[in-house]
């Protein structure tokens, strides 16, 4: 329950980047036994402190029912803090790194939750003295992405299979990609790209029905430089790219892939996923 009981009480949002927020608030005003429902919409486009539920009139009690705070940016995160102030003492009641397209939801009687870009409630498995500040998230590839470039071994984005990172933060990630090959004689390579920083990761993907290509100790984008020579099957291949990414700029870390044979398609299939979590 968030109550505003004096003419100095407010609910505010503190932002750290210019990633735009869309805020919807609903509340009930009680004055002399009369209950009045009210709603407010607020847009925030700067790193600042913004009133999202203003002070009630004298002799009026304001009970906040709903807060929806959505990061409307396509790729940039925003550290968002919800604050209650009585005009003298300000108390931060909830704070989270809100990734692009995610929403903070406050419901009276439920409390605060974070909704992923899909609308699902995010849950945390953090425990212990070194618990992280964010929960594990997942992004799902919505449609097939094909690389059949006319030049062999030309690497390209798996468009739609990425996650947002914030400068100065470190992330764990794991891409699991199902893919098809035009022929078993067409190999591939799988990697990542991003805004820049320190990365440590590995990749593995099919070579034959009993073996796979494994690349360890990777510390740069778009490596390895060469594709392998075959695929285990035309329809049943899996690529895994996993590791850690410490960003020195904000942006997106995205899966990348290439076909070993010119104009011979490697297709990243819809339903492929990336799991990721901020760890430091």
Cis peptide before 224 (omega within 30 of 0): yes
Q: What's the token pair of residue 143?
A: 């449609």
Instruction: Give the residues across from 54 on adjacent strands.
Output: none
- From first to last of its 280 residues, what are the pLDDT tens digits of the chain? 899 999 999 999 999 999 999 999 999 999 999 999 999 999 999 999 999 999 999 999 999 999 999 999 988 889 999 999 999 999 999 999 898 999 999 999 999 999 988 788 876 655 555 555 566 888 999 999 999 999 999 999 999 999 989 899 999 999 999 999 999 999 999 999 999 999 999 999 999 999 999 999 999 999 999 999 999 999 999 999 999 999 999 999 999 999 999 999 999 999 999 999 988 8
pLDDT for 136 equals: 81
Kindly tell me the sign of the dihedral angle through the C-alpha atoms of 223, 259, 145, 211. Answer: negative
pLDDT for 131 equals: 53
Q: Which residues contact 72 (CB under 8 A, 6 or more apart)?
A: 19, 20, 21, 22, 101
Q: What structural domains and CATH numbers belong to the chain?
A: 2-122 (no CATH), 138-278 (2.60.120)
Q: H-helix or E-strand containing 155?
A: none
Q: Catalogue the E-assigned strands of 99-250.
A: 103-107, 111-115, 137-140, 145-147, 156-165, 170-181, 188-193, 197-208, 211-218, 237-247
Selection from 69, 79, 72, 92 nearest residue 15 by Cα: 79
pLDDT for 28 equals: 97
**Residue 102 CB burial class (10 angstroms; 0-12, 13-18, ≥19):** buried
Q: What is the rounded CA–CA span in Å between residue 173 and residue 195?
A: 15
Q: Enter the pTM of the model.
A: 0.64
Selection from 211, 208, 138 nearest residue 176 by Cα: 138
């Amino acid at each position: 329950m968030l109550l505003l009981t004096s003419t100095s009480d407010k609910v505010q949002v503190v932002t750290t980047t210019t990633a735009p927020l869309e805020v919807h608030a609903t509340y009930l005003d009680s004055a002399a036994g009369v209950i009045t429902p009210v709603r407010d919409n607020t847009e925030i486009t700067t790193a600042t402190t913004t009133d999202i539920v203003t002070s009630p009139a004298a002799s009026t009690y304001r009970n906040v029912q709903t807060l929806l705070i959505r990061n409307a940016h396509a790729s940039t995160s925003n550290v968002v803090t919800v604050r209650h102030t009585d005009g003298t003492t300000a108390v931060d009641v909830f704070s989270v790194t809100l990734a692009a397209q995610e929403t903070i939801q406050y419901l009276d009687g439920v409390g605060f939750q974070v909704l992923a870009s899909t609308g699902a409630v995010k849950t945390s498995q953090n425990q212990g003295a070194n618990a992280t500040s964010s929960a594990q998230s997942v992004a799902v590839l919505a449609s097939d992405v094909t690389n059949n470039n006319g030049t062999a071994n030309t690497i390209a984005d798996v468009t739609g299979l990425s996650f947002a990172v914030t400068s100065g933060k470190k992330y764990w990630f794991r891409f699991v990609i199902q893919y098809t090959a035009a022929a078993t004689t067409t190999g591939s390579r799988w990697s990542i790209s991003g805004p820049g920083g320190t990365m440590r990761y590995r990749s593995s993907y099919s070579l034959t029905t009993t073996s796979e290509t494994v690349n360890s100790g990777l510390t740069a984008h778009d490596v390895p430089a060469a594709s392998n020579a075959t695929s285990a099957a035309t329809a049943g291949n899996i690529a895994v790219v996993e590791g850690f990414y410490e960003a020195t700029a904000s942006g997106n870390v995205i899966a990348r892939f290439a076909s070993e044979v010119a104009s011979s398609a490697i297709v990243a299939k819809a339903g492929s996923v990336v799991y990721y979590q901020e760890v430091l």
